[in-house]
Amino acid sequence: MHDMTMSEALKDPLIRKMLRADKVSLGMFATLLETAAKERTRNLAAKSWERCALPTMSAENKV
């Protein structure tokens, strides 16, 4: 089993049935997925930057 792409999720018959039952439009769901993907990318980039950033020197360690 693999994670679905956005395109696959939007075409999936079971997901479409659930969206209809919940009265959520396909466009609204696509926007939700896109927003979540952008937020995830932003969060991963921030975490990556935190790991790469040089530690700051405290006042007592400065010469």
- Encode pLDDT of 10-49 as tens digits: 999 999 999 999 999 999 999 999 999 999 998 888 777 6
Say whether pLDDT at 55 is over 60: yes
Calpha distance 26→19 (Å, rounded)? 7
Residue 25 DSSP SS3: coil
Predicted model pTM: 0.66
Q: What is the mean pLDDT of residues 39-60?
A: 73
CA–CA distances in Å: residue 60 to residues 16, 53, 55, 57: 60, 20, 14, 8
How high is the pLDDT of residue 21? 98
